[in-house]
Amino acid sequence: MSPQPVTFLGRAEALLGTRAAESVNQGMLHLTAMRDNAVSGFPLMDAMRDRARVIRLHALANLDRLLSHFADQVVAQGGAVHFAADAVEANQIVARILKETGSHLVVKSKSMVSEEIDLNRYLEDRGFEVVETDLGEFIVQLAGDTPSHIVAPIIHLDRHDVGTLFAQKLGVEETFDPTRLNQIARDHLRETFLKADAGISGVNIAVAESGSVITVTNEGNGRLCTTAPRVHIALLGMERVVSRWEDASVILEVLARSATGQRLTSYTNVVTGPRRESDEDGPEQLHVVVIDNGRSEILGSDTAEILACIRCGACLNVCPVFRTVGGHAYGSIYSGPVGSIVTPGLLGMEPWWELPYASTLCGACEEVCPIRIQIPSMLLKLRARAAEEGRLPGWLERGMRRYTNIADSSSKWERAKRLVHTLTWPVSRGGWIRRLPGRGRGWTAYRDFPRPARESFSAWWRSNRGA
Amino acid sequence: MEGPTVQLVVTCLVDALAPQVGRATVTVLEQAGCQVEFVEGQTCCGQPAFNVGMVTEARRMAGHTLDLLDVTKGPIVVPSGSCADMMTRHYEELFAGTDREQQAERISSRVRELSQFLVDDLATDLKASCEGCLVAYHHSCHGLRGLGLGHQAANLLSEVDMAELEGATDCCGCGGAFAIEMPAVSAAIMNEKLDRIEASGADTLVGGEVSCLIHLEGGLRRRDSKIVVKHLAEILAGDDS
C-alpha cells in the first residue's frame, strides 16, 4: 500500500471525485432519506430524543456508580468483568482470556471499540485466527481495508468492488449480484461459526440493573457470535451504560430510526450472563471488558457531552464534508462530526486537532442527533483549544491577527478598504477577481472573488445620510 | 405606519464587498416604516476569529462592535443570519467571565436578523416581487439552524415564483475560513449545490447571507451561468435601492 497522506486535507483531496466518494455520497443520501422518513412517521421522536438526552447525560454524571452496579450484576449472573485502562490492557485481557480458555478460532461481530484498540492485529500477531462476521466488516477484513463509516463500514465500496474481491480472495466465480454475494459470504462464514472457540462482540447498550449487554444488528451474525462458541467476550466502551431497562428501551427507539431509518434493527440481542443449566445453548463463559482508553480524559474535559453519543452515525450521513470525502479522510475509525470530537479526545490533540476544522459548522449534525449533542459548539471548543495551544498553521494565525489588527479599529478599517480596492484594480474585471494571491488562491482556484467596492456602505452612508 | 428606530449593523462583508445589500436593507427598513440609524465605524462582529478558535482576537473585534452599539438604543438589525447568530448566541459565551459579560448580554438581546425583524417583530406586509423570475432560495445554515429562520423569508417571497430546490437546506460549503483552509472540499460541496440550483430551473438565486452568496455567485461565474444572485434585501427593495 502506498503511504497515506498525513493530513485530513491531503487524504480528502485524494478521495475527492473518486468512485469511492461517489458511493459514500449516494449511500449517505439514501440513509438520510430513510432516517427522515422514519422520523416523520414517528410523532414521538422529538419527545424520545429529549428523554434519550436526559438518560445519557444522567448516565455520564453517574458513570462510576452505574459501572460498578453493572459489574456486580454481571458477576451475579455468572459472568466476569475486566476493566481496561487503555488499548494495550484491553488487548492483553482479551488475549489472556482466549489463551486461558484454549481458544484459537475467534468469530467477531461488529465492534467499533475493537477497531479503536486494533484488536484484530494484536490477536493475529499472537497466532489467533480472527474472522469478522458482519458482512461489511468481513469484506473490510478480506480487503485489508478499514471501515469508512461507523454503521456502514463498506459504504465506500459498491457491488462490483465486492464481486471482484470475493473472486480474488475466496476463489469463487465472479458475480456482481448482491443476493449471490451475500450467499457466498454466508456459506463461507457458517462453517466458521460452528468451529469457532470464542465469539467477540461489541456492546450498544449495557444495562446496569440486570447486568445485560445489548447488541443491535441486521444480520443475525451477532447472535451467532454470542451464542454458538464456548466463550463470549463483550467489549464495552465504558460510557455506554444506562441505569435501567426503561432507559435502554428509549435509546433503542431513537437508535435504529436515526441510524438506518428502521423502527428496530432486525436483531436486538440481549445477553445476561453465560449459559445457565436450563439453557439449551449459549456460551460457557461470559467476559465483559470495560474499556476506558481515554474516555475518562474526555469525561473531565469541556467535550464530555460527546460521550453521550450512541453511535447511530446520523451526523456522518448529513455532514456535507463527510458526504463529499467519506470516512477514510479522517484517518481515524471515528469519522465525521462525532469522530472529529471523539478522536482528539481519545488519541490526543496531535495530530488530531485538525479534525474539528473539517467542518463548515453548518449544524446539520446537531439537528439530527438523537441525543441532541451540541456538536458544533464542541467543535468550536476544540478549535479554541487548538488555537490556544498554538497548533494553527502560521498563515492562518498570522492572517487572522492581521485582520483583527485592522478590524478592531474604525480608522484602520476605513483605510484598509480603500487600499484593498486600489490594490485589486489590476486583477479585477467587472467587479470580480479571478486570481487572489497567497492563501486567497484557494478561494479563486474554484470561484471568483468580489472586488472590494469603490464606495463602501459606510462611505455611501456618510455621503448620503450622514449628519 | 410609524415604525421603530432601528440600529443597522451592516457586517464587514456587506460594508466592503456588497454595499448594495446595505443600501437595499436601508430601503426595505424604511419601506417598513422604520427610522434607520447607522453608527459609523463598524467593522466586523468577530466571527471569523471565533470560528477558527482565536478567542482573544474574536473578543477584540466583538468588543469594538459592542462599544459602538452600547451607546445606541432600540433593535439592532443585521442583514445576515450568520453575524446575527454570532451576536445573539455566541457573544455571551465569548465574554462569559470577563468584564464585558453584561455588556454582551445587553447587546445580544437587541440583535435581530433582517427577515426575523420584518416578519416576526414588525409583522410587515412587505412582499418581494420579481416579474418573470423563478427564484431558488438558499437557506444559510447559521440563520436556519442557529436562529431557526426560514418561514420569514418564505413569507417575504410568497408572491414570487419559487423553484423547487433539491437539498434546499443543505450547506453550500462556504463555511467562512473553511473555504480557504480546505478549498477543494469546500468547492466540491459548492458544486453539488450549484448543480442542484441549475437543475431547479431557477434564473434567480436569493439568500439572506452575503458570505454564502459571494461563494455561490463566484462559483456560478466560473460556469458562465446566467443565474442572477441577490440578497433577500435586494429583491425586497426592488428597483428602489
Query: What pairing do the DSSP bridges indicate for beta strands A198-201 and A205-207?
Result: unpaired
Q: Is A436 on the interface with B (CB under 8 A)?
A: no
CB atoms within 10 A of CB A446: 19
What does the CA dihedral A272, A276, A280, A282 come to, rounded to 10 degrees?
Answer: 50
Q: Which residues of B touch A324 (CB under 8 A)?
A: 185, 188-189, 192
Query: Quick one: pLDDT at residue A3?
Result: 55
Query: Quick one: pLDDT at residue B241?
Result: 53
Residue A95 near residue A126 (C-beta atoms within 8 A): yes
Q: Which residues of B touch A12 (CB under 8 A)?
A: 182, 184-185
Q: Is A431 on the interface with B (CB under 8 A)?
A: no
Alpha carbon A202 to its chain centroid, in Å, reads 15
Residues 319-378, chain A, touching B (beta carbon < 8 A): 320-321, 324-325, 357-364, 366-367
Query: Quick one: pLDDT at residue A1?
Result: 40
Residues in chain B where the model's pLDDT stays below 50: none
Q: Is the pLDDT of residue A459 over 90?
A: yes
Terminal Cα distance for chain B, rounded: 20
Q: In terms of CA atoms, which chain B residue is nearest residue A318?
A: B170
Alpha carbon A329 to its chain centroid, in Å, reads 12
Q: Is the pLDDT of residue A128 over 90?
A: yes
CB atoms within 10 A of CB A190: 12
**Cell numbers standing for residue A236:** 464495552
Query: Quick one: pLDDT at residue A280?
Result: 87
Go through A126-164 and write b for each residue having 16 or more CB atoms within 10 A of its CB, e for each that does not. Answer: eebebbbbbbbbbbbbbbebebbbbbbbbbbbbeebbbe
Q: How far is B36 from chain A (nearest CA, A)?
A: 10
Q: Is the pLDDT of residue A5 over 80?
A: no
φ, ψ for residue A361 (rounded to 5)?
Answer: 60, 35
Q: What is the mean pLDDT of chain B?
A: 96
Q: Which residues of B touch A413 (CB under 8 A)?
A: 41, 43-44
Residues 224-283, chain A, touching B (beta carbon < 8 A): none
How much is the pTM? 0.96
Q: What is the mean pLDDT of chain A?
A: 96
ipTM for the assembly: 0.97
Length of chain A in residues, anyone? Answer: 467
Q: How confident is the model at residue A466 (pLDDT cuts 50, 70, 90)?
A: confident
Query: Quick one: pLDDT at residue A16?
Result: 97
Strands (E), B69-224: 76-78, 111-113, 135-138, 204-207
State pLDDT tens for residues A279-334. Answer: 988 999 999 999 999 999 999 999 999 999 999 999 999 999 999 999 999 999 99
Q: In terms of CA atoms, which chain A residue is nearest residue B139?
A: A362
Q: How far is B188 from chain A (nearest CA, A)?
A: 7
Q: In terms of CA atoms, which chain B residue is nearest residue A404?
A: B57
Instruction: Please judge whether B55 and A366 are an interchain contact, meaning their C-beta atoms are less than 8 angstroms apart.
Output: no
CA atoms within 13 A on the CB side of A406: 16
Q: In terms of CA atoms, which chain B residue is nearest residue A317?
A: B170
d(CA B196, CA A29): 14
DSSP A51-91: HHHHHHHHHHHTHHHHHHHHHHHHHHTT-EEEEESSHHHHH
Query: Quick one: pLDDT at residue B32?
Result: 97
Go through B159-172 and write b for each residue having 16 or more CB atoms within 10 A of its CB, e for each that does not. Answer: ebebbebeebbbbb
d(CA B22, CA B119): 19
Residue A81 CA: distances (Å) to CA of A1, A71, A269, B95: 39, 6, 19, 46
More confident residue, A368 or A2: A368
Instruction: Please judge whether B57 and A388 are an interchain contact, meaning their C-beta atoms are less than 8 angstroms apart.
Output: no
State pLDDT tens for residues B47-85. Answer: 999 999 999 999 999 999 999 999 999 999 999 999 999
Q: List all residues 6 or more positions away from A359 whose beta carbon is below 8 Å from its beta carbon.
A: A319, A321, A337, A340, A376, A379, B175, B178
A·B CB contacts under 8 A: 207
d(CA A272, CA A70): 11
Query: Quick one: pLDDT at residue B169?
Result: 96
Query: Quick one: pLDDT at residue B3?
Result: 79
Q: How confident is the model at residue A6 (pLDDT cuts 50, 70, 90)?
A: confident
Q: How far is A368 from chain B (nearest CA, A)?
A: 11
Q: In terms of CA atoms, which chain A residue is nearest residue B42?
A: A410
Q: Which residues of B touch A432 (CB under 8 A)?
A: 218, 221
Instruction: Please judge whether B185 and A321 are an interchain contact, meaning their C-beta atoms are less than 8 angstroms apart.
Output: yes
d(CA A44, CA A51): 10
d(CA A422, CA A279): 84
The average pLDDT across A257-286 equals: 95
- Tell which residue, B27, B8, B3, has the closest CA to residue B238: B27
Q: In terms of CA atoms, which chain B residue is nearest residue A435?
A: B218
